[in-house]
Structure 1
Amino acid sequence: MNSIEAKVFWFTGLSGAGKTTIATNIGSTFKENYNYTFNLLDGDILRVGLCGDLGFSVEDRKENIRRVAEVAKLFLNRNISSLCTFISPTNEIRDLAKAIIGEKNFVEIYINTPLTICENRDTKGLYKKVRAGEIKNFTGIDAVYESPISPDYILNCYDNTVQDSLDEINSFIALKLKLPVNGDQ
């Protein structure tokens, strides 16, 4: 698979939209079906280590994304694709990541999950804390989330079954990497 040109797939969406779940599935599916491995750069994981010194101010969010984009670019330079799962709440912040990585290799995927669905999922209990006043400046509630202006792909996670959504995004990524889609060899 060395002839495949690596890409950075940048997943954006609200907390609880399904970014990490989808990316994890993509990683497993591509390993099993194509023997192709992705690097996963996840917001929650990197906020513990590499970006553990940052808060959630606008400046800190920008620095968080700058660092992650630089790491993704390092992998890209070694022809390793990355799946980056970050809320990355503004178009300006996502444009910064695209500028660092390079427009040709940056694939923006908007995980479009309505706030009500994200809040109902609340897998981390964050929305409950926000509504109780325990967390301030939470993206989508009292801090801005700008939907992407022209993402490369929009996955609407409210119209389809989970499996249909996964099949849809896996096909898109296979096409972007110029791999056979749906087992077509």
Structure 2
Amino acid sequence: MKLTQQRLKEVLKYNPLTGVFYWVNPQAYCMHAGEKAGYLDRNGYIYIKVDSVKHAAHRLAWLYMHGVLPEKFIDHKNTIRSDNRIKNLRLATRSQNMMNQLKRKNNTSGVKGIGWDNKVKKWRARCQVDGKRQCVGWFSSLKEAEKSLIKFREKGHGEFANHGGA
């Protein structure tokens, strides 16, 4: 059975300003009305079990406020996966969701999308747009590469542009 907004509101109360869910009608003996609902998984998302089905809290927040579970992705604007305030959530395609990512942990330049090219002995700036990785260019200075990449990313990613920080 598909979860509805009505059923969700029978079981949980959502605070859109904090993004936190509370039990109204707990489904297990170990839960109590008024207690915070959900648990943080190892990837940083909050999950809540409703009617024996595990749901991502950000998707429940969308259902609670808008009445539908979206078919698309829901993006956390500030990239904090546990921040489920409704103002931090927006509908996104998979591609848009991927655009709003932080700099990777294995990044060696310190700037998202930029790496040193040993063959050319210059900084290479790359960015993915519409599923295709595009080379922005090779640059003598890291600052120059970063400046060009930011300009390119803002044009190609629009409101989903993320330059590596939250």
Q: TM-score range by the shorter chain?
A: under 0.3
Higher strand share: 2
- Name which one, 1 or 2, has greater alpha-carbon Rg: 2
Q: TM-score, normalised by structure 1?
A: 0.25
Q: TM-score, normalised by structure 2?
A: 0.27
